[in-house]
Chains A and B, each alone.
Chain A
Amino acid sequence: MEKLELRAEVVAPGDLLARDISNGTYTYLDGGEVKASVFGLKDIKKDSVSVIPLAGKYMPKAGDMVIGVITMVDRNGWEISINSPYPVFLQRDRDMDPILNPRRLYKEGDIVSVKIKSVNEMKKCYAEGPRKLRGGRILMINAKKIPRVIGNRKSMLGILREKSECRVVVGQNGVIWLDGPERNVQMVVDAILQIERESHTKGLTDRISSVLDKKMKVIKEEENGRKK
């Protein structure tokens, strides 16, 4: 395997990042020194320094779109497991018919995408805007690598969707829902796993793009061959 170029310096917890600068995410202040609090990549900006983590669980944040599985239903609503230490609760609409069985809407095992409405200091989360995802395929990856799957201004996600002709829904919690022809979906799965593996390297978008082009060419050729 050829050696890939790192996109930033790898740091471990406790590593000194800089002095007398404001501390960004995943860092802490020790006297005037900014130190890394997680294992990840150093990210220096003009006025602050932060760390891009390479591992860790998803932490719910208000406004995030996540995909999860309904794990519990009661008369107040639904509990959704989102691959995180904290589940989210989807409350039943107040003007919903009280006699209606909530399982008629969503039952245990259903896959839904929701937006996180609020998170309190005990990390209890409430969701809004549910959407049921029917069929398709679910892929779970490291949540901290989702920004790379989406890419700068959705560049990577755009490439994945366009080239593979699949429907791709990405949850901030590391759960990805895919739907389309079986071989195309498999191609996207392989591409996403490659992104997860190589998220710390440079020039990833171009590499993924060329891999997808090559695979699509094979798929197209075979389809044409069958028609003839």
Chain B
Amino acid sequence: MGGKSSTPLIVKGKRLDGRKPEELRPIKIEAGVLNRADGSCYVEWGKNKVIAAVYGPRELHPKHLQDNTQAVLRCRYNMAPFSVDDRKRPGPDRRSVEISKVIREALERVVFLNYFPTSAIDVFMEVLQADAGTRCAALTAASVALADAGVPMRDLVAGCAAGKVDGTVVLDLMQEEDNYGEGDLPLGYIPSKDEIVLLQMDGDFTKDEFKTALNYAIKGAKKIYALQKEALKRKYTTNKETAKWI
């Protein structure tokens, strides 16, 4: 958000990359890409590239951090210095600490943490290339990686964002739309329960716009959810063929 674009972002109902308002970017999800991690997942979402790794459940040290009733879920969202146009100063900052927290809270809703008292489950999400909507891509990757690690969970969480560009509500913002648009609405969603586990909003929406945006995002998340399941199952139904663009 901020600044106004010198050229219109939507021309004749089509966006800069030719998508319709209610269309997602092309997405590729691949499970089990890292050998040393207990579970992992790589997501390419438009120009976003995110990799997630899960370690654990494992022993948690120091001992005072342990919880005797359930596992401690630790999430780290991090952007590579080369993931954006200007070099991103490495290390956690205000933004990535916040994103780590909201993703952790979304995942805590689905993981059966009470199965693993005193232990820790670590989730690492690295953004290799960013093009708006990385928190949704990271959440999507993290939940597939958790399932790939064999962690018991109620369901997978799918992330998807909607937004407002040139006064029109659109699904799945890309970088230019995020920078010059009027609003962004990232969502974390559990389709089978119809439960929202992450919802943030940036910019201005009227009540009606918000409702349409939320509907768009939920529809998008349902599509992502199908891709997540397919990615997990593909790991065993084909013999290590590389994932294809869908």
Q: Report which A residues bind B (CB closer than 8 A).
A: 1, 3-4, 6, 10, 12-16, 26, 28, 30, 35, 37-40, 53-57, 59, 85-87, 121-123, 144, 200
**Which 3 residue pairs of A and B lie closest in terms of their CB atoms, listed nearest first?**
A56-B150, A14-B155, A55-B150
Q: Taking chain A's interface residues, is the majority helix, strand, or loop, or is none over half, making it mixed?
A: loop
Q: Which of B52-60, B78-86, B126-134, B210-218 contacts A (4 or more CB under 8 A)?
A: B52-60
Q: Are A54 and B236 in contact (CB under 8 A)?
A: yes
Q: Which residues of B contact A16 (CB under 8 A)?
A: 192
List 8 A–B pairs whose Cβ atoms lie within 8 Å, in order of A's numbering. A6-B237, A10-B237, A39-B147, A53-B150, A55-B38, A56-B151, A57-B57, A122-B68
**In the bound complex, what is the Cα–Cα distance between A133 and B58 (angstroms)?**
25
Q: Are A87 and B150 in contact (CB under 8 A)?
A: no
**In the bound complex, what is the Cα–Cα distance between A55 and B228 (angstroms)?**
17
**Interface residues of B, count at CB 8 A:** 35
Number of A-B contacts defined by CB within 8 Å: 93
Q: Are A13 and B153 in contact (CB under 8 A)?
A: yes
Q: Which residues of B contact A121 (CB under 8 A)?
A: 117
Which of chain A's residues has its CB closest to B117's CB?
A: A122
**In the bound complex, what is the Cα–Cα distance between A30 and B59 (angstroms)?**
30
Which of chain B's residues has its CB closest to A33's CB?
A: B192
Q: Decide: A13 near B38, CB < 8 A? Known: A57-B150, A122-B118.
A: no
**In the bound complex, what is the Cα–Cα distance between A89 and B201 (angstroms)?**
50
Q: Decide: A4 near B239, CB < 8 A? Known: A13-B147, A13-B156, A55-B39.
A: yes
Which of chain A's residues has its CB closest to B116's CB?
A: A85
Q: Which residues of B contact A144 (CB under 8 A)?
A: 150
